[in-house]
Amino acid sequence: MNLFSPLALSNGAVIPNRIAKAAMEENMADDDHAPSAGLIALYRAWAEGGAGLVITGNVMVDARAMTGPAGVVLEDDRDLNRFRIWADAARSGGGQAWMQINHPGRQMPTGLGQETLAPSAIALDLGAQSRAFPAPREMTAADIADVERRFVATAVLAERAGFTGVEIHAAHGYLLSQFLSPLANHRKDRWGGSLENRARLLLDIVRGVRAAVSPGFAVSVKLNSADFQRGGFSPEDARAVVQMLGALDVDLVELSGGSYEAPAMMGSARDGRTLAREAYFLEFAREIAAVATMPLMVTGGIRRREVAEKVIASGVAMAGIATALAIAPNLPHNWRSGRNDAPALKPITWKNKPVASSAHMAAVRYQLVRLSRRQRTAPNVSPIWALLTSQISARRNARQYRRWMAERKAAA
């Protein structure tokens, strides 16, 4: 088994190699929050670059609940033809294309002007940046049932559009991750308290999706290996949830970690100087692999071929790559041809981790916009410049989103 060996999933699908383009937050939808021409061009570049698995950035299951402005929404079939074009582009290189489906919970920006829901009425603690996210309302049983229905409906639409699987996002502090975390979930009912209760919504969604899609359609989960916060979702919790998922015909689990409050997943939490720190979730993955009955994927800072090979040699099935593929979408082909490219952005060493995380995300998004326009990437972009231009764009997109929501409300 090596980096370019195929991976056969339990549903019969085959991923042609072990390199996955992991999800990134593109925020490149069109004015109707469907895939834009630029977003479609971006995914064609990744597909043709040789990744065996292409996972989309967040696709929202509810237009009222967005991780950011200009996000893609799939809650009905009104724009399904645009999604079919997107799926065709993402599969154009011969690999698998999975849609990541998500709900932000309390991690929805204030500027979007929508009510924020969460397992419990606990606001994000980001210091001076806390005001950027409103205090959430605790979800009712009806709210929880609606979210479950929406995840299943979006998965069914993804299959109709031509995607070959979905990834249910239960990591990075978004809604399903909030239910799993005892720091964000203080409920006293059947969705709170014990880990079995905190995992109930995720497990019910997985069951619902698996029952609603065809047997050959992949159902995967993105899970935190840890929240990296004292008293939060722990590696022991992750092991137990992976065991629970093993009984539900899950085809793959991607392991990541962190949240907006502790952004280990964004690149600001490691310096990249050693192989061990570059694949910084691999240690957790090795422990979880001991109980996993499905293939695992590790995402987090991988940019060197030797690190990706180390991940596969350790028994982890897939190496998820994000930032490096934002800089060099042809990286899988380059590695296969014997090159040792190791794309990297300019380091960010700021002490404020949430702001550093935002700057890292902005620098990545800067590359994505350039790729979508078929321009050369600019990995040496100033993080300050990337952050400022991203904030300007986000404010403009937030105004457009609020207008769009107002028009939808008036039409209803």
pLDDT in tens, 45-102: 999 999 999 999 999 999 999 999 999 999 999 999 999 999 999 999 999 999 999 9
What was the pLDDT predicted at 280?
59
Instruction: Give me the mean pLDDT over the 331-356 stretch.
Output: 91
- Asked if the model's pLDDT at residue 224 lies above 90, the reply is no
What was the pLDDT predicted at 268?
39
- The C-alpha atoms of residue 347 and residue 77 are separated, in whole angstroms, by 42
Portion of the chain with pLDDT greater than 70, in percent:
93
Question: What average pLDDT is seen over the chain?
Answer: 92
- Asked if the model's pLDDT at residue 232 lies above 80, the reply is no
Give the strand pairing for 296-299 and 137-138. Answer: unpaired
- Asked if the model's pLDDT at residue 234 lies above 90, the reply is no
- Asked if the model's pLDDT at residue 278 lies above 60, the reply is no
Instruction: Give me the mean pLDDT over the 328-344 stretch.
Output: 96
What was the pLDDT predicted at 58?
96
Whole-angstrom distance between the N-terminal and C-terminal Cα of the chain? 54
229 — pLDDT class (breaks 50, 70, 90)? low
Please list the alpha-helical segments (H only) found in 279-322: 282-289, 305-313
Instruction: Give me the mean pLDDT over the 160-167 stretch.
Output: 98
- Asked if the model's pLDDT at residue 11 lies above 90, the reply is yes
- Read off the tokens for 111: 């500027």
- The C-alpha atoms of residue 269 and residue 227 are separated, in whole angstroms, by 13
What was the pLDDT predicted at 161?
98
Q: Which residues contact 45 (CB under 8 A, 6 or more apart)?
A: 329, 371
- The C-alpha atoms of residue 235 and residue 18 are separated, in whole angstroms, by 24
What was the pLDDT predicted at 183?
93
- Asked if the model's pLDDT at residue 264 lies above 70, the reply is no
- Read off the tokens for 97: 């294309």
Q: Residue 325's closest CA among 3, 2, 68, 47?
A: 47
- The C-alpha atoms of residue 149 and residue 137 are separated, in whole angstroms, by 20
- Asked if the model's pLDDT at residue 199 lies above 90, the reply is yes
- Can you tell me which residue has the tokens 């998922």? 245
In the beta sheet, which residues pair with residue 170?
223
- Asked if the model's pLDDT at residue 230 lies above 70, the reply is no
Q: Residue 175's closest CA among 265, 255, 260, 298?
A: 260
Q: What confidence tens digit (pLDDT) does each residue in 122-152 have?
A: 999 878 778 889 999 999 999 999 999 999 9
- Three-class SS of residue 400? helix
CATH number for 7-343: choose from 3.20.20.60, 3.90.1170.20, 3.20.20.70, 2.102.10.10.
3.20.20.70
- Read off the tokens for 8: 């056969």
- Three-class SS of residue 98? strand
Instruction: Give me the mean pLDDT over the 187-203 stretch.
Output: 98
C-beta of residue 105 within 8 angstroms of C-beta of residue 150: no
What was the pLDDT predicted at 73?
98
267 — pLDDT class (breaks 50, 70, 90)? very low
Instruction: Give me the mean pLDDT over the 379-400 stretch.
Output: 95
188 — pLDDT class (breaks 50, 70, 90)? very high
Judged by phi (left if over 0) then psi (alpha if -120 to 50, else beta), residue 345 lies in beta
Instruction: Give me the mean pLDDT over the 262-278 stretch.
Output: 46
Instruction: Give me the mean pLDDT over the 195-200 stretch.
Output: 98
110 — pLDDT class (breaks 50, 70, 90)? very high
What was the pLDDT predicted at 95?
97
